[in-house]
Structure 1
Amino acid sequence: MVILTVGMILTNSLYGQDKPIPALSYQQMIGTGFATSWFKTEPPETSELPDSHLIQTMIDLRKAGFSNLRLRARADIYGFADVITDTGTEPTQHLDKATMERFLTELERVITIANNHGITPILSWIHHEAESRASAQDCENYVAWWSAVARHFRDFPQTLGFNLMTEIGIQGFGGLRVDPSLSNEWMRQAITAIRSTGDNNATRNLILTSPLKTEKGLKKLESDLFSRAHILAEWHRYASGPNQQGGSKDWHGDGSPEERRILLDAVSTARHFQQSTGIPTWLGAWMPWDNANASLDQQEIDAFATFFTTTLASHQIPWSMNELNAVYSIKDNQWRKRVRTGREHSLVINMEDVINAIEKGRKKGEKMASKDISTIGK
């Protein structure tokens, strides 16, 4: 049982801890925000920061109009059975349980501060090697991780959401990515484990992930997973940004009609899924620049950012941008002005212009929310 701190008591009074939030209401609560990598390392990136830095981060996000943080957490750095190094009859552990406790303690601190300052925290499991292997032990570890997390946070406000998988990885091109029935089964077991911990977890919003990563995979979700209340679904588009290599991420200039149609069709597919199943969706990661080859110039990046956010806002689909560290320094509590992007090639971009383009798109999309999809971007 979690002992409520003064911060938690404040959170409960602000958010109504014991009142379940309908999935559609939670979708709109998510709004727009950022993915983070704070919990993809051991120790977590935030662990050396005082509360004041995290509080100011949340204040700055809210002031800029953002309302969610996706807390991606690497499951392979905590104390569960290690599939790769196990050569004996019993699985071994590569880190002890104390590591998991440190993770949960720091996660509790961040989640509490986020909740107390109007930022919706969404905890997301990530372990691409396990997704690719997809062994029975990997599934057992996955459920054990969610069980430990759920037990710790079962009394926490309903504003905390659980994103059951960050994405279905393609490392090795095997496992969950090639067999959607496996990802469905993993999530099915996780849902059962989380719900069984009771208290607020009985009605906490849980977010499924598309078995094929994009909106095209939403139809691969098995109906029994979303035949219950308090379930949403996550999908991805442009998680590493648009590029100029042709295909499904192509973007030049202000975007040709064909290039714009890629996103319009994706949104249409996601909307159809929501309308036919009643399950709200969330776009969990996108990026307005080419993170690999830096193939877009500043004008193209800004144009894409505006079009993307216009499209999502006009259909009331929430999103998290990949990622916060690229646009904001939690150590300095400052929005970054210029950032070097790209891996194989690089480009310094004006991040202030990008944020302004995003805001322009959000406002335009909100005004267009009642219009037909064919008018978006015109």
Structure 2
Amino acid sequence: MKSSSRGFLTALTSLAVILGLAAIPPAASAGENGTDEETPRETTGDAAGTSAMDMVAAMQPGWNLGNTLDAVGEDETAWGNPRVTRRQLAAIRAQGFESIRIPVTWNAHQGGAPDHTINPAHLDRVEEVVDQALDEGFHVMINIHHDSWQWVMNLPRDYDAVMARYTASWEQIAETFRDAPPELSFESVNEPYFEGSSGAAHDAELLHDLNTTFHGIVRDSGGNNADRLLVLTTLHAAHEQERLDELVETFDELDDPHLAATIHYYGFWPFSVNVAGHTRYEQDSRRDMVETFDRLHDTFVSRGIPVIIGEYGLLGFDRHTGTVQQGEKLKFFEDFGHQARIRDLTTMWWDNGQHFDRRALEWNDPALYRQISTSWTTASATASTDQIFVRGSAPVTDAEITLDTAGHTLTAVRHGSRELRRGTAYTLNGDRLTISAATLSRLTARGGQGVNATLTLEFSGGAPWDVRIITHETPQLSNASGTTNSLVIPTRFNGDQLATMEAVYADGGNAGPHDWTSFKEFEAAFSPDYEAGRITLPSAFFNGVRDDSTVNLTFHFWSGDTVTYTLTRSGNTVTGTAG
């Protein structure tokens, strides 16, 4: 996921949809049983006597060893992750993952034409890690990864040379692993795209050539490769109906029962990166997910072609896992697990080191892992929010949140080990949970700003839902001066947290990047630092601001408070004024 091409391409597609430049393809609901009236594709057993559908089902759930063997450079530690060890693999296996995708970038370890020999030491290292993962009981998938944007994308301009290198690469990989057990699968290429093609039809033709060449090389190499599971991707690993239909044509031509399709899913783009005011996991985001998964089911699964979502997550995680607010993030991943499960889609969580700490061998966000892992087997309740704000300078009042119980029943509300008394500390009326003013007063009595307590809502099934009780006052921003390289605004957050920022010119019109919306992109156009007490506007924001202009900013906080701020740009000089 490290490559910036993913975010750019996803952004273009999603922006087109938002602006009405592209229609969202219609999709019929797969329903709870994920059934369809089409005749399923006939599947036969592979080398282990298992159909492709069963093999892919056995890979659920999966995890990505990201930013490691796919790192662009001479060493697997080049992008900040430690060297892979058997102990790390055992630790992630113990988290309940059945499969591991090991992305591999070969470019820096490969000689020139005509042989394109892969450095034996690198090939040996890949084989060592694969063997260790297989020994730990994983199903393993390897691929050609960031080579896609390093040289494969030149296919339209230098067809013969690129195809020769692609062929040589897969011939060596296939020969190395020809006798590996069936639990090892190959993926043709990661997120392919092409520069200089004549258009969509040409792109589809080129990808078809890559996928069929890959298929022929592996099958002809013999050994267990004769019927090893092979995973074929769409263009960009995208999931629009046109891309899926293109891949179906390749499947039909190959007529091989030991194949699976793969795409990547990083959510509805505005929500995924927190732009255009999409701070919450709401209707647009959920519709995008449901329609995507319906398309995958109806196009592939209903015909007996298994689907692997080879990467999933939120694009904003590339910058910071806090780009999307915690509760909204948990709702996204809960629904993702549910929607994939009822449609028989296998999922592989993208982790470039920001989720599982490969040194400490623990989760950086245990609540996120809890939500995701629970979703593999059952639905969990969520709520309209995981935050209750109590203004320190005002009388405390009851607080109400709406539950989405997912068919479960609320069984307890706890503060630590103490269970709150129903009817006095809280009441439940249908899906409306009310925490009493007296309870909130007691929990915030110490008076400090920020999180004063966490309530845990327990249900008859699924994961619990945590609600943080936060004491706050309206944030205060101070005057500041800087340049278009960076403006740092001293900020007293007063217990609150920033949700989004609007930017409009004083004389009208949206300012800053993405000028089709007034709401800017979190951690890209603005970035809060709660510990340091500041909000930073980087050069990326000012690149979209006119010279000699005045910009009115509105900072929206999760408590509901808003704070206005005025920017004046003159040349490369910027001044900011509070109020």
Q: TM-score scaled to structure 1, two decimals? A: 0.76
Q: Is the 8 A contact 2:111 2:119 kept in 1?
A: no
1:362 shift after superposition: 2.2
1:212 shift after superposition: 4.5
- Provide, for residues 183-216 of structure 1, a one-character-per-residue CA deviation record: whole Å limited to 9, x for no partner: 1111111111111110100010000001252222
User: Would you say 1:111 and 2:138 are equivalent positions?
Assistant: no
Cα distance 1:155–1:64, how it changes in 2: closer, same or farther (>3 A)? same
User: Would you say 1:181 and 2:205 are equivalent positions?
Assistant: yes
- Provide, for residues 143-175 of structure 1, a one-character-per-residue CA deviation record: whole Å limited to 9, x for no partner: 1111100001100001000011111247x5758
| Matching residue's letter, 1:29 | A
1:113 shift after superposition: 1.2
- Provide, for residues 35-80 of structure 1, a one-character-per-residue CA deviation record: whole Å limited to 9, x for no partner: 2232124544279978xx7332232223211122111111322324
Pick the aligned partner of 1:334 from 361, 367, 375. Answer: 361
User: Would you say 1:361 and 2:375 are equivalent positions?
Assistant: yes
Q: How does 1:1-378 map to 2 (within 5 A)?
A: 19-35=48-64, 36-41=66-71, 42-45=73-76, 54-81=85-112, 91=113, 97=117, 100-126=119-145, 127=147, 128-134=149-155, 135-136=158-159, 137-169=161-193, 172=195, 174=197, 179-216=203-240, 217-221=243-247, 222-223=249-250, 224-238=252-266, 242-245=272-275, 251-253=278-280, 255-275=281-301, 277-288=303-314, 290-292=316-318, 294=320, 295-330=323-358, 332-337=359-364, 351-365=365-379
Find the aligned partners of 2:126 and 2:231 in 1 and give their Cα distance: 19
Find the aligned partners of 2:207 and 2:82 in 1 and give their Cα distance: 36
1:114 shift after superposition: 0.9
Aligned sequence identity (%)? 17
Q: Which has the higher strand share?
A: 2
Q: Is the 8 A contact 1:311 1:376 kept in 2?
A: no
1:125 shift after superposition: 0.8
Find the aligned partners of 1:133 and 1:289 in 2 and give their Cα distance: 26
Find the aligned partners of 1:32 and 1:251 in 2 and give their Cα distance: 28
1:226 shift after superposition: 4.4
- Provide, for residues 290-344 of structure 1, a one-character-per-residue CA deviation record: whole Å limited to 9, x for no partner: 23565411222122121112211222211111115222233x251242xxxxxxx
Gaps in structure 2 of 5+ consecutive residues: 1-45, 381-403, 408-579
Find the aligned partners of 2:378 and 2:336 in 1 and give their Cα distance: 11
Q: Is the 8 A contact 1:288 1:302 kept in 2?
A: no
Q: Is the 8 A contact 2:266 2:312 kept in 1?
A: yes
| Matching residue's letter, 2:62 | G
1:225 shift after superposition: 4.7
SS in 2 for 1:320: strand
Q: Is the 8 A contact 1:38 1:45 kept in 2?
A: yes
Gaps in structure 1 of 5+ consecutive residues: 1-16, 82-90, 338-350, 367-374
| Matching residue's letter, 1:252 | T
Cα distance 1:153–1:92, how it changes in 2: closer, same or farther (>3 A)? closer
Q: TM-score scaled to structure 2, two decimals? A: 0.51
Q: Which has the higher contact order (CA 8 A, sep 6+)?
A: 1
Q: Is the 8 A contact 1:151 1:197 kept in 2?
A: yes
1:92 shift after superposition: 7.4
SS in 2 for 1:179: helix
Q: Is the 8 A contact 2:193 2:236 kept in 1?
A: no
**RMSD of the alignment, in Å?**
3.2
Find the aligned partners of 1:213 and 1:307 in 2 and give their Cα distance: 21
Q: Is the 8 A contact 2:355 2:363 kept in 1?
A: yes
Q: Is the 8 A contact 1:61 1:67 kept in 2?
A: no
| Matching residue's letter, 1:329 | D
Cα distance 1:57–1:269, how it changes in 2: closer, same or farther (>3 A)? same
Structure number with greater Rg is 2
- Provide, for residues 195-243 of structure 1, a one-character-per-residue CA deviation record: whole Å limited to 9, x for no partner: 1110100010000001252222121122445411210010111089812
1:377 shift after superposition: 7.2
Find the aligned partners of 1:100 and 1:233 in 2 and give their Cα distance: 30
Find the aligned partners of 1:376 and 1:189 in 2 and give their Cα distance: 49
Find the aligned partners of 1:33 and 1:57 in 2 and give their Cα distance: 15
Cα distance 1:146–1:365, how it changes in 2: closer, same or farther (>3 A)? farther
Find the aligned partners of 1:377 and 1:274 in 2 and give their Cα distance: 28
SS in 2 for 1:283: strand
Q: Is the 8 A contact 1:163 1:206 kept in 2?
A: yes
Q: Is the 8 A contact 1:195 1:201 kept in 2?
A: yes
SS in 2 for 1:319: strand
